[in-house]
Amino acid sequence: MNAPERVARQFGTELRDRLVTLRRDIHRHPELSLAERDTTSRLVAALADVGVTDVHRIGETGAVARVAGRSRSAPVVALRGDIDALPIQEATELPFASTVPGVMHACGHDVHASWAVGAAALLAADPADGDVLVVLQPAEEIGQGALAVLASGALDEARAIFGGHVDRRFAVGQVVADDGPLAASADTFTIEIMGAGAHAARPHEARDPIVALAAVVTALQSIVARRLNPATPGVVTVGTLSAGTAANIIPDRARATGTIRAVDSESRALMHDELRRVTESVASGLGTEARVTIDRGPPPVVNPGQQAAWAREAASAVVGRENVVPLGFLNLAAEDFSNYLERIPGCFLRIGARESGGPVIPAHSPAFFPAEDSLFVGAAVLAECARVASRSLR
Ligand SMILES: [Zn+2]
Ligand SMILES: [Zn+2]
């Protein structure tokens, strides 16, 4: 028997069927960030079915459940499952594909939500030393959910936190629990160039913001190429450009938006400073003025060593040491789990989700789906993370 089959068997037929039904149900009825009302109701009902009824709502679409530990005085640990879907038209042809046009669980949060319930069920049957707080987190995709959960105070007692993401670059049964950086910060910038408009045939009477913005976009490429230490990954991408109303008019304004990705706070600060400096100096050199605004998104995900070691110990116990594998590459996507890690030490895991012989499909693609057996691996690994951390913190 291979690792995923062995793990699935530990759940027993009833719980296994319950989780498969729950996950398919959530997948069929995806809800966007901050609209996860039915999703949360379904999950809270599923928690009650496995005997977990101590549930506090967070805002209108989130919840935190408490699973009692063996001792009231033992350390409290948190597990997080995010629950929101994406504005994508599903193209998987799964029998339980989305029934909502233009909305899809393309990031696997249907599985993450089901992990939370599965882990709660396992911990209700075989508790950790201390209580475990199981977070049903809304709005991960818009970077707001983790902050809302933290602001509610629901995790004030938590001394460690664990969460995971399905990943089809890894086979079902494989688990990654590396320490160090494994996802980037994601900050959004807006550049506005203010010039002076004129007739397109009389450019000497204008201060052309389009020419200035074009020069700025080119100059921005030098930040990663020439300013950032080449040993540190980073991204500056311009995603939109807009200006003008007609072919024979020089407009008075031009606008660009984009994203900055970094894996540590020093390179993040450097890229912010350089974006402002390069933009302002290039714009002014071309007779225009620049306004730069940067909206800070989630910080980088950096797993601390001790908590990652506990996660590897837990994963080894569930899938075997040979199936605990290194990430092997850095991912510059963002994940708002990093907001928890700024306040609570913990570990963010990748849980293999590619069925044997299946293709690698990136998350956020209309064809994305995690293999069903990743349901059991993720739930069992997270439950064991809670047990190991609670015991080790005593
Ligand atoms: Zn996503
Ligand atoms: Zn995701």
SS3 annotation, the chain: CCHHHHHHHHCHHHHHHHHHHHHHHHHHCCCECCCCHHHHHHHHHHHHHCCCCCEEEECCCEEEEEECCCCCCCCCEEEEEECCEECCCCCCCCCCCCCCCCCECCCCHHHHHHHHHHHHHHHHHCCCCCCEEEEEECCCCCCCHHHHHHHCCCCCCCCCEEEEEEEEEEECCCEECCCEEEECEEEEEEEEEECECEECCCHHHCECHHHHHHHHHHHHHHHHHHHCCCCCCEEEEEEEEEECCCCCEECCEEEEEEEEEECCHHHHHHHHHHHHHHHHHHHHHCCCEEEEEEECCCCCEEECHHHHHHHHHHHHHHHCHHHECCCCCCCCCCCCHHHHHHHCCEEEEEEEEECCCCCCCCCCCCCCCCCCCHHHHHHHHHHHHHHHHHHHHC
User: What's the pLDDT score for residue 177?
Assistant: 98
Residue 180 bridge partners (DSSP) = 303
Give me ligand 2 centre to Cα 371, in Å. 15
Report CA 120 to chain centroid distance, whole Å.
21
Contacts of 188 (CB under 8 A, 6+ apart): 257, 258, 259, 260, 294, 295, 297
Burial call 125-140: b when 16+ CB within 10 Å, e when fewer? eebbbbbbbbbbbbbb
Q: Tokens standing for 339?
A: 């907001």
User: What's the pLDDT score for residue 390?
Assistant: 98
User: What's the pLDDT score for residue 3?
Assistant: 86
Average pLDDT over residues 86-97: 97
Give me ligand 2 centre to Cα 140, in Å. 7
Confidence grade of residue 223 (pLDDT, cut at 50, 70, 90):
very high
Give me ligand 1 centre to Cα 116, in Å. 17
pTM of the predicted model as reported, rounded to 2 decimal places: 0.90
Ligand found nearest the CA of 165: 2
User: What's the pLDDT score for residue 330?
Assistant: 82
Give me ligand 1 centre to Cα 358, in Å. 21
Give me ligand 2 centre to Cα 166, in Å. 8
Give me ligand 2 centre to Cα 83, in Å. 9
User: What's the pLDDT score for residue 2?
Assistant: 86
For residue range 72-88, list pLDDT tens digits in order. 999 999 999 999 999 99
For residue range 109-134, list pLDDT tens digits in order. 999 999 999 999 999 999 999 999 99
Give me ligand 1 centre to Cα 306, in Å. 27
Give me ligand 1 centre to Cα 56, in Å. 25
Ligand found nearest the CA of 163: 2
User: What's the pLDDT score for residue 290?
Assistant: 98
Give me ligand 2 centre to Cα 364, in Å. 8
Give me ligand 2 centre to Cα 277, in Å. 33
In the predicted structure, residue 35 carries a pLDDT above the cut 80: yes
Distances in Å between the Cα of 301 and the Cα atoms of 26, 36, 94, 387 are 27, 25, 32, 23
Ligand found nearest the CA of 301: 2
User: What's the pLDDT score for residue 150?
Assistant: 98
Give me ligand 1 centre to Cα 4, in Å. 24
User: What's the pLDDT score for residue 326?
Assistant: 97
In the predicted structure, residue 218 carries a pLDDT above the cut 90: yes
Give me ligand 1 centre to Cα 285, in Å. 40
Mean pLDDT for the chain? Answer: 97
For residue range 310-322, list pLDDT tens digits in order. 999 999 999 999 9
Give me ligand 2 centre to Cα 368, in Å. 11
Ligand found nearest the CA of 88: 1
Cα 57 from Cα 39, distance rounded (Å): 13
Q: Are 98 and 374 in contact (CB under 8 A)?
A: no
Cα 394 from Cα 73, distance rounded (Å): 9
Give me ligand 1 centre to Cα 180, in Å. 21
Cα 298 from Cα 178, distance rounded (Å): 20
Give me ligand 2 centre to Cα 372, in Å. 16
Confidence grade of residue 212 (pLDDT, cut at 50, 70, 90):
very high
Ligand found nearest the CA of 142: 1
In the predicted structure, residue 155 carries a pLDDT above the cut 90: yes
